[in-house]
Amino acid sequence: MTRACAVCHAEFEAKTARAKYCGQRCKDKGKPSAQGLACSICGEAMTKGRTSGQAGIAAHNKCRTHANRIMTHGATGYRRGCRCDQCKAGQADYISAYVQAVKDRHGLHPNTLRRKKFAEVHGYWPQAGSSDWIAPKARHALYERDDWTCQLCHEAIDRDAHWNTNYAPSLDHIVPQSHTLVPDHRPSNLRTAHRLCNSKRGATADATSQAHLP
């Protein structure tokens, strides 16, 4: 069946009785969304798909999605990478509401609850955070107590070394934290050690740690 295209008026062989266009290009141009409408965001002609929006409202799906990502501020905008004041405040409010909800339900801060669940599964508490670790003044007092000498290799410690070097001072738990349910951070269970020596020892028990075990 030969018909004339509804757009370019060229004759074409129609495969069905409802065929009106000679090809995809004319079919796209003949759709209602392409009849003089331009995307309200990018300004380019809308040549594909149907739309119920009028001029000044109709927009490509891709343009609309991108615009929503940019224009949405608050906690959602923060998660999408925006760091404006509104998004920072929204994220802070979201975190505060989450923490309060966990406290109301479990009576514990989310971090404490997470560590408690970890201890129930593994039998010991995970590494303590900065809030419940030894204070800098107390740490320095322990270094002075041990005369700035590594208690593992018995060599002197460079008190001026950068904290992230192998021979910088650190505190070693005599009874490793993984050997008890609740880590013992008392001065009696801490000793001065090079960062390298402390790392090599890891959670290995030795004669001194065995003597400290209850």
What is the per-residue pLDDT across 12-48, written as a single tens digit (0 to 9) for each? 888 888 888 888 778 766 665 556 677 777 777 776 6
pLDDT, the chain, mean: 79
Which of 55-59, 76-80, 98-102, 141-145 is predicted with the least confidence, judged by mean pLDDT?
Answer: 55-59
Q: Is residue 102 part of a domain?
A: yes
- The predicted-structure confidence for 159-204, as pLDDT tens digits, reads as follows 888 888 999 999 998 888 777 666 677 888 899 999 999 988 877 7
For residue 205, pLDDT over 90 is answered with no
pLDDT for 12:
87
CATH code for the domain in which residue 166 is found = 3.40.1800
Residue 3 host element (H or E): strand 2-4
Q: How many CB atoms lie within 10 A of CB 199?
A: 12
Q: Are residues 9 and 81 in the same domain?
A: no
Q: Is residue 62 part of a domain?
A: no
Stronger pLDDT, 63 or 161, i.e. the higher one = 161
Alpha helices in the chain (DSSP H): 24-30, 61-71, 75-79, 85-106, 110-122, 136-145, 195-201, 207-212
Q: Are residues 142 and 91 in the same domain?
A: no
- The predicted-structure confidence for 114-150, as pLDDT tens digits, reads as follows 878 877 776 656 665 544 567 788 889 999 999 999 9
Between CA 199 and CA 164 the distance in angstroms is 12
Q: Is residue 60 part of a domain?
A: no
Q: Which residues, 6 or more positions from 165, have their beta carbon under 8 angstroms from its beta carbon?
A: 195
Q: Is residue 135 part of a domain?
A: yes
pLDDT for 204:
74
Number of domains in the chain: 3
pLDDT for 181:
65
Q: Are residues 23 and 92 in the same domain?
A: no
Q: Which domain holds residue 11?
A: 1-30
Provide the pLDDT confidence category of residue 82 given band limits of 50, 70 and 90: confident
Q: Is residue 58 part of a domain?
A: no
- Domain boundary residue, one of 106, 122, 147: 106
- Of 208, 195, 118, 95, residue with least CA distance to 150: 195
Q: Are residues 90 and 138 in the same domain?
A: no
pLDDT for 63:
73
pLDDT for 103:
93
Which residue's structure tokens are 């201890």?
Answer: 119
Between CA 34 and CA 31 the distance in angstroms is 6
Q: Is residue 63 part of a domain?
A: no
For residue 100, pLDDT over 50 is answered with yes
Q: Is residue 87 part of a domain?
A: yes
For residue 70, pLDDT over 70 is answered with no
Q: Are residues 152 and 207 in the same domain?
A: yes
Q: Are residues 189 and 151 in the same domain?
A: yes
The residue-averaged pLDDT of 50-58 equals: 66
